[in-house]
Structure 1
Amino acid sequence: MWFCDIGGQVPIYEYYCSSCNSNFELKQSFEADTVQPCPNCKTSSQRNFNVPTVIYKGSGFYTTDYARKNTPPTNTTNTTTPKTETSSEKSESKTETNTKE
């Protein structure tokens, strides 16, 4: 996260104190020391490294860059097909006609 200051943009760093198990944030320059005193217990605390959040906006890079080209549209409506006779049903109907003669 960035904080806009009169002198420019200054990052906000998150720190963790292992002695009192507290988290706190400090606005400081890039050149600042990575070890800072905890505001609660005044012992040294270490800077946390967090993963930045990535947000893709707009039409989306996947649909414009990596999507398959010329894919046929999928049919979402249910279509019913007429029932066809199976081979066992066909053989039964043939035997019935032969016995009637």
Structure 2
Amino acid sequence: MTNQPAKTNWKYLEPSPNSWRKQLYLKGTRIKASVIYSDMIVNEMSEADALYNWDFPLEAIHEIIEYCQTHQELLQSEALEERRRLEAKGVIIS
């Protein structure tokens, strides 16, 4: 299997200029791609379920899945950073 360069042009995803996060958000929303992806995993949603639940185009759902699957390290590091920030504010996470 060959290593392919990471995709950088996304039709439905964009960075948030007002966030410390580097992960991408669904264009025109404040919804992180990882929120939609994790919702699909946790709730065992098919693509059809996600379409119904989130009301986004199928192409957007495909793009979210591709992005999250190819950026796991970034998503995990940001989840850890978010936890650290919350704990620093005294929020107890179990």
Shorter-chain TM-score: what band?
A: under 0.3
TM-score w.r.t. length of structure 1: 0.19
TM-score w.r.t. length of structure 2: 0.20
Which structure is larger by alpha-carbon Rg, 1 or 2?
Answer: 1
Flag the structure with more relative contact order, 1 or 2, with Cα contacts below 8 A and sequence separation at least 6: 2
Q: Which is helix-richer, 1 or 2? A: 2
